[in-house]
A and B are shown apart, each in its own frame.
Chain A
Amino acid sequence: QVQLKESGPGLVQPSQTLSLTCTVSGFSLTSNSVHWVRQPPGKGLEWVGAIWSGGSTDYNSALKSRLSISRDTSKSQVFLKMNSLQTEDTAIYFCTRFTAYWGQGTLVTVSS
């Protein structure tokens, strides 16, 4: 069945770079897009970006200058990298095979 699982560091220092991995199973990255969505604690959902089946990407315009999404199809993994992290980037980060399948999310806290 379709599954997605996020992994990452949990705690990142301000101004540093966040690196997250989404490992998928039950479907092919070359036939499906994967999106990232984040949710600050106690707040709403925000679309972060996507990598499409052909490998092209789209990013939230507010995050575009700091964001990069890539993938390794041989490992069924999608990567998110965001630099210059600030406390406002503290959130649960979800990867999703939009819109029906979601990972459990991973909490990223930006703090010194």
Chain B
Amino acid sequence: DVVLTQTPSILSATIGQSVSISCRSSQSLLDSDGNTYLYWFLQRPGQSPQRLIYLVSNLGSGVPNRFSGSGSGTDFTLKISGVEAEDLGVYYCMQATHAYTFGAGTKLELK
């Protein structure tokens, strides 16, 4: 099974600070169809997950452009350019190339 390793597990930030979260896969996520099925979600306390990024770098509908995704193969990054209070919660990466696997999550909290 594919394992996704997220770092850090906890991220402390101030409002306005730019931060990055890493997601590393135990196998390449490049599919034979040419797509890389890597997604990012944010789960705010008490809420369902919200999709932020799909296919590595595509911004989900209604998602602010301070969020961006990058990477290829086995290494991926989510960047938030200027954290806002509404961004606090747990971030998960997920792969859908080899069945479906979520990372363990990164909790973004206020410093």
> Which residues of chain A have a CB within 8 Å of any CB of chain B?
35, 37, 44-47, 58, 60-61, 94, 98-100, 102-105
Contact = CB atoms under 8 A, between A and B. Distances in A.
29 contacts: A37-B49, A44-B92, A44-B103, A44-B104, A44-B105, A45-B41, A45-B92, A45-B94, A45-B102, A45-B105, A46-B102, A47-B99, A47-B100, A47-B101, A47-B102, A58-B99, A60-B100, A94-B48, A99-B39, A99-B41, A99-B51, A99-B54, A99-B94, A99-B96, A100-B60, A100-B61, A102-B48, A102-B49, A103-B48
Nearest to B100: A47
> What DSSP secondary structure best describes chain A's contact surface?
loop
A102 B92 CA distance: 15
Contacts of A37: 49
Contacts of B41: 45, 99
A-B pairs with lowest CB-CB distance, top 4: A47-B100, A102-B48, A45-B102, A99-B51
A33 B35 CA distance: 19
A100 B104 contact: no
Given A44-B102, A44-B103, A103-B48, 11 more contacts: A45-B43, A45-B92, A45-B102, A47-B99, A47-B102, A61-B1, A99-B51, A99-B54, A102-B48, A102-B49, A105-B48
A45 B49 contact: yes
Nearest to A35: B100
Nearest to A45: B102
Contacts of A60: 99-100
Contacts of A104: 48
Which among B41, B50, B54, B99 has the greatest number of chain A C-beta atoms within 10 A?
B99
Interface string B71-106: 000000000000000000000101010011111110
Contacts of B49: 37, 45, 94, 102
